[in-house]
């Protein structure tokens, strides 16, 4: 069998490792883009992350990095290239997985990408007047970045429906613009980035006292996942090995985070289908799992539990026994509530064939997590790119074939059961030893990348250090970045009344695209 060409031109590593920046191949732009396009189209790779930063050697250039994942071999492939600030050809027409990443690069660095099908901002960085910026890709737009035109469909029967950015619930701001023919959605356009948080900019120059707090608050319902990704990068850069006990506690916390959010989403789906029994039960039982996390560290969302070098808290015999008891009680209460969903015809009829995302479309978009597995895509970073405790203990990967709301709900239901079994097993066989390993200064001029399977799907942290071992650039790719366009495609041709239900079935993060 011939070795794919990109493997000879890109650096192969595994997640949670650090490499010298000098070892990353710097390719000509054409070779860089060909390698990515061919790896995705011909060898089943995925674009994990793609980002750019100013070239320190020239004001006229930027440096682009790409990380691809080959799930069957567990390898990550890294390469870089330079591009002129005056603009360069977009790769999106050849590889649609690049579309949102390229929009972010154009927005953050004010570099036009020629041939991109819809080059508008993703997370408007403040009220910057783009008309005043050199080589602005947004030239000719309205005065402020936040007032961009939406895609428009003409027709006598076509009308627009705008939702948000302020919503009727306690959720983050996001704007949805529907182009409809009667009740049928022809196109959905999603605008995010109304909070302008600037977390990635704030991480530059770290690590410092605030870096850790930024990392674990990147997305409040994914504290453990983002905390683990950040910690693994710093540990890799500092050549620090986490103890087996700390790795097991991190795994317990990550699965409790997954369970709590999946339970909450099943309750939310039941509520959107007007099925109050499961909605009421899951709302309460979600709190039971959050309270278990609070028993571990004093915070229901896991703040302070993960630390660089291990964990900030340990589990003694008394706490272990209480967690096992509460886990059994919560599982006993949860299973009948979830079974009500599958055994109620009016609910399954509402879920089935609603918001279908075809498998082919999901692959083209690079969708991850529950949304991908519900389309029959067998992927999970805990198995495909394992780190920590997942290198030694594996969870079954749950898939469904429908790609609809029912499939996304069903995957969540089974993942809850597997995660409960995992937490019970880890509590019963918790390794002995310390929970913290001291670490030294970070290596200079290095690159590290870490993947974590959060409850939404794969998230990626990538960091570049400078000559002093400080963060020169910190890049975060939340799973929602891969999945928002999947939601838009799932709604195409559907009824506008199905949007709340379909939106909850994806359960994406608004702030995850506003970093």
Are 53 and 109 contained in the same domain?
A: yes
Are 113 and 216 contained in the same domain?
A: no
Are 352 and 459 contained in the same domain?
A: yes
Are 215 and 149 contained in the same domain?
A: no
Instruction: Give dist(CA 265, CA 257) in Å, integer.
Output: 12
In a domain, 108, yes or no: yes
In a domain, 159, yes or no: no
In a domain, 229, yes or no: yes
Are 142 and 206 contained in the same domain?
A: no
Longest alpha-carbon distance in the chain:
71
Residue (of 484, 497, 480, 487) closest to 161 by Cα position: 497
In a domain, 189, yes or no: no
Rg (CA), the chain: 23
What domain count does the chain have? Answer: 2
Write out the E strands in 71-144: 75-84, 88-89, 113-114
Domain that holds residue 75: 6-122+124-153
Tens of each residue's pLDDT in the chain, 515 residues = 567 777 889 999 998 899 999 999 999 999 999 999 999 999 999 999 999 999 999 999 999 999 999 999 999 999 999 999 999 999 999 999 999 999 999 988 999 999 999 888 887 654 333 333 334 444 443 334 344 578 888 888 899 999 988 887 778 888 999 999 999 999 999 988 888 788 999 999 999 989 999 999 999 899 999 999 999 999 999 999 999 999 999 999 999 999 999 999 999 999 999 999 999 999 999 999 999 999 999 999 999 999 999 999 999 999 999 999 999 999 999 999 999 999 999 999 999 999 999 999 999 999 999 999 999 999 999 999 999 999 999 899 999 999 999 999 999 999 999 999 999 999 999 999 999 999 989 999 999 999 999 999 999 999 999 999 999 999 999 999 999 999 999 999 999 999 999 999 999 998 888 88
Are 275 and 346 contained in the same domain?
A: yes
- Domain boundary among the residues 153, 173, 207 is at 153
In a domain, 245, yes or no: yes
Are 375 and 302 contained in the same domain?
A: yes
In a domain, 76, yes or no: yes
Are 254 and 398 contained in the same domain?
A: yes
Domain with residue 135: its CATH number is 3.30.460
H-helix or E-strand spanning residue 225: helix 223-237
Are 109 and 205 contained in the same domain?
A: no
Are 136 and 237 contained in the same domain?
A: no
Domain with residue 311: its CATH number is 1.10.645.10
In a domain, 280, yes or no: yes
DSSP annotation string for 97-118: GGHHHHHHHHHHHT--EET-S-
Q: Contact 412/441 with Cβ under 8 angstroms?
A: no
Are 234 and 307 contained in the same domain?
A: yes
SS3 376: coil
Are 222 and 134 contained in the same domain?
A: no
Give bridge partners of residue 52 from the DSSP assignment.
64
In a domain, 203, yes or no: yes
CA distances from 419 to 109, 208, 210, 407, 508 (A): 41, 34, 32, 18, 20
């Amino acid at each position: 069998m011939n070795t794919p060409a990109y493997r000879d031109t890109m650096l192969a590593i595994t997640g949670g490792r650090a490499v010298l920046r000098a070892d990353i191949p710097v390719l000509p732009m054409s070779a860089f883009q060909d390698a990515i396009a061919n790896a995705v189209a011909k060898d089943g790779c995925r674009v994990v992350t793609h980002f750019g930063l100013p070239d320190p050697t020239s004001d006229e250039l930027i440096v682009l990095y790409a990380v691809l994942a080959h799930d069957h071999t567990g390898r990550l492939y890294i390469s870089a290239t330079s591009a002129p600030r005056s603009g360069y050809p977009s790769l999106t027409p050849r590889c649609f997985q690049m579309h949102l990443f390229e929009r972010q690069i154009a927005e953050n660095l004010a570099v036009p990408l020629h041939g991109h099908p819809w080059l508008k901002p993703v997370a408007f960085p403040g009220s910057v007047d783009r008309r005043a910026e050199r080589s602005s890709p947004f030239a000719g737009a309205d005065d402020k970045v936040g007032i961009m035109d939406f895609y428009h469909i003409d027709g006598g029967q076509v009308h627009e429906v705008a939702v948000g950015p302020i919503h009727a619930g306690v959720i983050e701001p996001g704007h949805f613009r529907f182009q409809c023919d009667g009740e049928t959605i022809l196109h959905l356009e999603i605008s995010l980035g109304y909070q302008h948080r600037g977390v990635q900019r704030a991480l530059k120059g770290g690590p410092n006292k605030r870096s850790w707090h930024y990392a674990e608050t990147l997305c409040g319902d994914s504290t453990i996942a983002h905390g683990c990704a950040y910690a693994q990068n710093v540990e890799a850069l500092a050549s620090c090995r986490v103890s087996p006990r700390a790795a097991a506690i991190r795994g317990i916390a990550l699965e409790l985070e997954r369970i709590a959010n999946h339970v909450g989403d099943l309750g939310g789906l039941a509520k959107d289908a007007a099925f109050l029994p499961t909605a009421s039960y899951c709302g309460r039982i979600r709190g039971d799992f959050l309270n278990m996390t609070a028993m571990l560290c004093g915070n229901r969302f896991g703040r302070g539990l993960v630390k660089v070098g291990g964990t900030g808290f340990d589990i003694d015999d008394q706490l272990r026994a209480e967690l096992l008891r509460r886990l059994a009680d919560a599982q006993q209460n949860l299973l009948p509530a979830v079974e009500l969903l599958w055994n109620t015809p009016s609910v399954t009829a509402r879920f089935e064939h609603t918001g279908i995302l075809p498998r082919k479309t999901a692959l083209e978009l690079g969708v991850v997590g529950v949304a991908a597995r519900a389309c029959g895509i067998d992927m999970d970073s805990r198995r495909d790119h394992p780190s920590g405790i997942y290198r030694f203990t594996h969870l079954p990967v749950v898939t469904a074939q429908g790609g609809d709301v029912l499939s996304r709900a069903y995957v969540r239901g089974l993942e809850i059961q597997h995660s409960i079994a995992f937490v019970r097993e880890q509590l019963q066989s918790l390794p002995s030893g310390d929970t913290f390993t001291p670490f030294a200064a970070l290596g200079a001029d290095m690159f590290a990348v870490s993947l974590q399977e959060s409850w939404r799907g794969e998230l990626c942290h990538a960091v570049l250090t400078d000559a002093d071992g400080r963060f020169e650039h910190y890049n975060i790719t939340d799973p929602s970045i891969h999945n928002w366009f999947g939601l838009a495609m799932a709604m195409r041709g559907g009824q506008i009344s199905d949007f709340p239900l379909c939106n909850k079935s994806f359960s994406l993060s608004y702030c995850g695209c506003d970093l």
